[in-house]
């Protein structure tokens, strides 16, 4: 893999590499990246992986090669404290829409702001980075004042960007890379024009993230933030009068109308299924924004912050009109509803053409890598979605001995997944293996409903002889749950999609992975339905061209949780009988690591019992 990456960097070519677990793919692209002497952007799927690359992997490789390089860690705006917005928030510590404790948290953030150099909110451990208070003291592209900001000289985002421009290697995440590609990060320059190579780790996430970025979204939270900021800035400037306040309240009333109309509906609602009152509310919102713009868009107005509010209102209006007038032949529209508000969204069916144009416009190398990119040794599903159909492809197998380290158990006796008794039957089939493993299990579900049902059933059938703890997603935060699982060493963790990837548990604490069903996306998801409609319009079979490949890649991620090291062992149980009863089942099995397969539960139990017994003997020998 390192040789292939080095060749792509030298030739400025495109390369797609699937590298199995344990290959060492991070070092395999970092070594040639450092040796190339080129200016390189490394884009990752998550902030956690960004931090790992910056704080651990790059320093290790750089020191080993004796190649010191200037490295920058660059995150999105929401990860950096905005000094200007902190000053505004501090003057109104009990922020609208936030809990009363926001004043105390602001005081904590203020104290930290005097010490931080980078402004990275992850440094402020006293306030969780998920706390809503951060929204009041970080900037967005819409509310940033840019060079006109009174705090611009001390701006953490601007400083991070300047540092990135001067660095040899810049570590970003996919969201920020796409924001840069879409020219959405205005006022701070671009990263890509100076890059000679872009390496995308966890590249399997990139197509869906790209579809989001090239779409259009109008969220209630952003609009209400605008109204709050507008009232504050007008009051501060002595420009707020009764008629302007009424215009702001009209915007808030339109948002409230849409919220009431969406209350109680599904999390995602197809545009064609929205109540008429939602569309009426959206039209009212558009008109209310236009009225506010007309009131405040005065060339004689000198207040920079108020002008910025006008620009934000103009952008919301443009976006809202884009959603309302979008062409349903090229994309899909829907409403997203949640506890913190709603959004009206449009996403194109495919973004391959736009991504291909980005690649063609820049003479640099593009390297995509992940443990899950190929479907039965075929990369076309991925390369077609990112516009890289001419890229060289390489599949590097894992160095682990799956034939002896792992066993794949696929029972034939379970009912069809649609059967109401399926989850209980799956738990009954898995329980003997869980007992043979002495806990040490992940039980992964494809839906929260199945997780709740499976957790209730498992707890109801456990006996006093079952001494392993049962941990269920949602009881405590994800990271705390994983930490507890590792510490206990004999627990059963039951979870959904967030545990299918990005989870690394090495050693005997995880010896069994049970997956309830093949991970097909929910058929009632309007995004999926619309994307499948796009495939139909192109004359392709949407199930085989999209649903099956996507499910295969997701299954490979879930199965990949088991064997993480050369000493690991265990069983993967795939309960779904469609592996044997449907023609596409063979494609799933052929895409998995080369594990020995069995349909006999007794064989799987014996495999686990023998290995667990071997651990006990080793422990006794060490003690002696």
The answer to whether residue 525 scores a pLDDT higher than 90 is: no
The answer to whether residue 451 scores a pLDDT higher than 80 is: yes
Q: What is the rounded average pLDDT of the residues 137-160?
A: 87
CA–CA gap between residue 608 and residue 14 (Å, rounded): 43
Q: What is the rounded average pLDDT of the residues 327-345?
A: 88
Task: Give pLDDT tens digits for 526-561.
Answer: 778 777 877 887 788 999 999 999 999 999 999 999
Torsion of CA 529, 533, 535, 540, to 10 degrees: 110
The answer to whether residue 124 scores a pLDDT higher than 80 is: yes
SS3 assignment for 174-225? HHHHHHHHCCCCCCCCCCHHHCCEEEECCHHHHHHHHHHHCCEEEEHHHHHH
pLDDT reported for residue 142: 74
For the chain, give the mean pLDDT: 89
CATH 3.40.50.300 given to domain 2-69+168-214+351-396 = yes
pLDDT reported for residue 190: 66
CA–CA gap between residue 161 and residue 170 (Å, rounded): 10
If we measure between CA atoms, which residue out of 207, 204, 220 comes closest to residue 18? 204
The answer to whether residue 94 scores a pLDDT higher than 80 is: no
If we measure between CA atoms, which residue out of 471, 386, 455, 465 comes closest to residue 432? 465
Contact 177, 198 (CB under 8 A): yes
Contact 574, 409 (CB under 8 A): yes
The answer to whether residue 99 scores a pLDDT higher than 60 is: no
Run of H or E including 4: helix 2-11
Of the candidate CATH numbers 3.40.50.11690, 3.40.50.300, 3.40.50.970, 3.90.1150.10, the domain formed by 402-623 belongs to 3.40.50.300
The answer to whether residue 434 scores a pLDDT higher than 90 is: yes
Q: Which residues pair with 368 in a beta bridge?
A: 16, 200
CA–CA gap between residue 73 and residue 60 (Å, rounded): 16
Q: What is the rounded average pLDDT of the residues 373-390?
A: 92
Residues 6+ apart with CB under 8 A from 487: none
Task: Give pLDDT tens digits for 261-272.
Answer: 998 888 889 898
Task: Give pLDDT tens digits for 297-332.
Answer: 877 777 788 888 999 999 999 999 999 999 887 888
Task: Please calculate the CA angle 542-543-544 and round it to the nearest 5 degrees.
Answer: 95
The answer to whether residue 421 scores a pLDDT higher than 60 is: yes
Residues 6+ apart with CB under 8 A from 10: 36
Contact 385, 352 (CB under 8 A): yes
Report residue 233's pLDDT band, with 50, 70 and 90 as the boundaries. confident
Q: Which residues pair with 428 in a beta bridge?
A: none
CA–CA gap between residue 231 and residue 309 (Å, rounded): 10
The answer to whether residue 130 scores a pLDDT higher than 80 is: no
The answer to whether residue 95 scores a pLDDT higher than 60 is: no
Report residue 188's pLDDT band, with 50, 70 and 90 as the boundaries. very low
Report residue 90's pLDDT band, with 50, 70 and 90 as the boundaries. confident
**Domain residue spans in the chain?**
2-69+168-214+351-396, 78-154, 216-348, 402-623
For the entire predicted model, the pTM comes to: 0.84
If we measure between CA atoms, which residue out of 562, 542, 559, 538 comes closest to residue 550? 542
Task: Give pLDDT tens digits for 5-29.
Answer: 999 999 999 999 999 888 899 999 9
Among 67-76, 121-130, 584-593, the range scoring the smallest mean pLDDT is 121-130
Run of H or E including 135: helix 134-137
pLDDT reported for residue 184: 42
**Same-fold call for 2-69+168-214+351-396 versus 216-348:** no
CA–CA gap between residue 373 and residue 380 (Å, rounded): 9
Contact 319, 344 (CB under 8 A): no
R_g of the chain computed on alpha carbons: 26
CA–CA gap between residue 322 and residue 70 (Å, rounded): 42
- The token duo for 123 is 């440094």
Torsion of CA 170, 175, 176, 178, to 10 degrees: 100
Report residue 131's pLDDT band, with 50, 70 and 90 as the boundaries. confident
Run of H or E including 443: strand 441-444
Give the CATH fold of the 216-348 domain: de novo design (two linked rop proteins) (1.20.1440)
Residue for token pair 């019992």: 609
């Amino acid at each position: 893999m390192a040789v292939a990456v080095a060749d792509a960097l030298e030739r400025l070519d495109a390369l797609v590499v699937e590298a199995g677990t344990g290959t060492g793919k991070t070092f395999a692209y970092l070594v040639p990246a450092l040796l190339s002497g080129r200016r390189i952007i490394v884009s990752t799927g998550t902030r956690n992986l960004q931090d790992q690359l910056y704080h651990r992997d790059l320093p290790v490789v750089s020191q080993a090669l004796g190649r010191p390089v200037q490295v920058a860690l660059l995150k999105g705006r929401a990860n950096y404290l905005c000094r200007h917005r902190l000053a505004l928030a501090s003057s109104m510590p009990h922020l609208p829409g936030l809990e009363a404790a926001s004043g105390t948290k602001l005081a904590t953030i203020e104290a930290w702001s005097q010490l931080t150099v980078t402004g990275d909110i992850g440094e402020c451990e006293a306030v969780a980075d998920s706390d809503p208070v951060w929204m009041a003291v970080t900037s967005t592209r819409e509310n940033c004042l840019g060079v006109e900001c009174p705090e611009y000289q001390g701006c953490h985002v601007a400083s991070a960007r300047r540092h990135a421009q001067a660095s040899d290697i810049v570590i970003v995440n996919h969201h920020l890379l796409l924001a840069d590609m879409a020219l959405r990060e205005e006022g701070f320059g671009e990263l890509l024009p100076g890059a000679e190579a872009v390496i995308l780790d966890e590249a399997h996430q990139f197509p869906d993230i790209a579809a989001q970025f090239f779409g259009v979204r109008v969220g209630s939270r952003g609009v209400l933030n605008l109204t709050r900021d507008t009232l504050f800035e007008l009051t501060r400037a002595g420009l707020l009068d009764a008629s302007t306040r009424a215009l702001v309240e009209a915007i808030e009333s339109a948002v409230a109308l849409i919220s009431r109309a969406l209350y109680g509906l599904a999390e995602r609602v197809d545009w064609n299924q929205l109540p008429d009152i939602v569309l009426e509310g959206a039209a009212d919102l558009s008109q209310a924004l236009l009225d506010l713009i007309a009131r405040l868009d005065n060339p004689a107005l000198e207040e920079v912050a108020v002008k910025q509010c006008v620009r934000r209102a103009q952008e919301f209006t443009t976006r809202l009109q884009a959603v309302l007038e979008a062409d349903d032949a090229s994309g899909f529209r829907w409403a997203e509803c949640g506890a913190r508000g709603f959004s009206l969204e449009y996403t194109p069916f495919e973004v391959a053409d736009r991504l291909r144009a980005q690649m063609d416009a820049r003479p640099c190398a593009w390297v995509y890598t992940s443990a899950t990119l190929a479907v039965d040794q075929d990369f076309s599903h991925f390369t077609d979605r990112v516009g890289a159909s001419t890229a060289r492809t390489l599949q590097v197998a894992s160095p682990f001995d799956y034939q002896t380290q792992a066993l794949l158990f696929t029972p034939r006796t379970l009912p069809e997944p649609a059967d109401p008794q399926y989850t209980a039957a799956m738990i009954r089939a898995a329980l003997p293996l869980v007992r043979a493993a002495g806990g040490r299990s992940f039980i992964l579900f494809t839906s929260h409903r199945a997780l709740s049902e499976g957790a209730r059933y498992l707890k109801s059938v456990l006996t006093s002889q079952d001494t392993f703890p049962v941990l269920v997603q949602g009881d405590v935060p994800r990271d705390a749950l994983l930490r507890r699982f590792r510490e206990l060493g004999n627990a059963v963790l039951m979870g959904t999609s967030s545990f299918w990837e990005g989870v690394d548990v090495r050693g005997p604490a995880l010896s069994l992975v049970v997956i309830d069903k093949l991970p097909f996306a929910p058929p009632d998801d309007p995004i999926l339905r619309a994307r499948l409609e796009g495939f139909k319009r192109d004359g392709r079979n949407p199930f085989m061209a999209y649903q099956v490949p996507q499910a295969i890649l997701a299954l490979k991620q879930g199965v990949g949780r088991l064997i993480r090291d050369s000493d690991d062992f265990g069983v993967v149980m795939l309960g779904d009988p469609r592996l044997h009863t449907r023609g596409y089942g063979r494609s799933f099995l052929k895409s998995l690591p080369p594990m020995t397969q069995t349909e006999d539960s007794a064989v799987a139990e014996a495999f686990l019992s023998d290995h667990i017994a071997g651990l006990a003997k080793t422990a006794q020998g060490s003690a002696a």
